Amino acid sequence: MRENPGITISDLAKRMNIKPNYLYRVLPQLQQDGKVRKRGKEWHPA
């Protein structure tokens, strides 16, 4: 995310070679913890 601010879950999953479903579960928790921010469909480092 730091290298690609504004990345979508789909693009991030492709780069990490994992299924997007995992990120849909993990990223909201990281957002609650203040580690990432969401703007529309884009995710940014906090």
Cβ–Cβ < 8 Å for 43, 36: yes
pTM: 0.84
Is residue 32 included in any domain, yes or no? Answer: yes
Each residue's pLDDT tens digit, 1-46: 999 999 999 999 999 999 999 999 999 999 999 999 999 999 999 9
Give the range of the structural domain holding residue 19, as residue numbers without chain letter: 9-45
Is residue 31 included in any domain, yes or no? Answer: yes
Is residue 20 included in any domain, yes or no? Answer: yes
Q: Can you spell out the DSSP letters for 1-46?
A: --SSTTB-HHHHHHHHTS-HHHHHHHHHHHHHTTSEEEETTEEEE-
Is residue 2 included in any domain, yes or no? Answer: no
- Count: domains in the chain: 1
Contacts of 8 (CB under 8 A, 6+ apart): 41, 42, 43
Residue 22 has a pLDDT of: 96
Residue 16 has a pLDDT of: 96
